Structure formats: structure tokens, C-alpha cells
Amino acid sequence: MVVADRFSELFRQEHRQVRDLLLEFIEAFPQRDGGRTGKLLEQVAQLTGPHFRYEEEALYPALTQIFGAGYIEQLFRAHDGIIRTAFRLSQLAGRADLDDDEVDEAVKLTRSILPHVSDCDGLSIMVERLPEQAVQRVLDVRERSRDAGLDLLTWASEIRGRATPSSRR
């Protein structure tokens, strides 16, 4: 299989998983099922930590030659926003005592992440135009990020090195 096709397939699978977890989140918050939202948050954070990491450490830099630096900075900023949202969601997940405003907020915040999932998946079409070596490097960094296994909030607070004002619960 061509390496870009392999990449697209893995990338699509990861986005599918994130999409499904987010949609489940949207269902679970109004039920105030703290056990479920807590577990979902853990799963989303575990999946998106390595995903964001290899995007930022390898995929985005590789795509600079296609998109130019300006759009790549926008992609980083989109991640900044999602990370802030994730920190807020981590304060709302796992609780059975959310009031109506908090439930609305949680659902709205979760929905605000969804467009990133579909937008991000579209990057595959540009990855097809990268040199094979560059795509392989992205896949290598993906492996390393998955082996390191840091969840999104841990990676963002300890490794990422971009200021995203936030605090852990």
C-alpha cells in the first residue's frame, strides 16, 4: 500500500473514534451520568493526546510547504482552543450534579470540537502530495507518540510548550 494511503486510513480511523466518543458525550451530559462522562473524558483524552502530538510535531510542519506558515499557525491555534475546551470539559465530566446551565455548556463545548474532526480529516488530501519520506516520518512520530501514551491534558500541560491558559481539576 502507498504510504499516503496507509496514513489516510489510520487518520480516518482515529477521527472516527473521536467523532463517536464526542457524539456519545453529547448524549451523556444531559443524562448527568457522571460515571459515563468521566469514562468518556478519559477515553477522548487518551486518544487525542498522541493524535494532537504527532499532528503538531510532524504533520503540521510537513504541511507547511503546501499551506504556508499562516494556515499552519491557524491549525495550532485551533488546537489551543480545543485544549482549553478540554480542560473545561474535564471540570464538568464525571459529575452527577450538573445544573442545567452546566449541561448546556458541556454540550455546546463538545459540539464546538466536532468541526475540527471533519476539517482535520480533510488534511489527508494534501498529505497525498507530500514526498513519501515525509509521510513515513509522520507515521514514525505517530508511533512514538502512541508509545509515549500521554493523554491530551497531561501532554498539553507538561510537554507541549504552547501557552494554553488552563488548569487541571
Which positions lie near Fe ion, rule CB under 5 A?
120
Min separation Cβ 15 and Fe ion, Å: 6
Cα torsion at 95, 96, 97, 98 (round to 10°)? 70
Min separation Cβ 138 and Fe ion, Å: 12
Rounded Cα distance between 7 and 135, Å, is 7
Residue 11 or 29: the one with the smaller Cβ distance to Fe ion is 11
Min separation Cβ 129 and Fe ion, Å: 18
Asked whether the beta carbons of 80 and 164 are under 8 A apart, the reply is: yes
Residue 64 or 91: the one with the smaller Cβ distance to Fe ion is 64
Min separation Cβ 51 and Fe ion, Å: 6
Min separation Cβ 22 and Fe ion, Å: 12
Rounded Cα distance between 95 and 101, Å, is 14
Asked whether the beta carbons of 91 and 109 are under 8 A apart, the reply is: no
The three three-digit cell numbers of residue 40, written as one number: 468518556
Tell me phi and psi for residue 165, to 5 degrees: -50, 120
The three three-digit cell numbers of residue 26, written as one number: 453529547
CA 13, 15, 21, 27 torsion-angle sign: negative
Residue 18 or 134: the one with the smaller Cβ distance to Fe ion is 18
The three three-digit cell numbers of residue 49, written as one number: 493526546
Residue 120 or 152: the one with the smaller Cβ distance to Fe ion is 120
Residue nearest Fe ion, Cβ-based:
120
Residue 22 or 120: the one with the smaller Cβ distance to Fe ion is 120
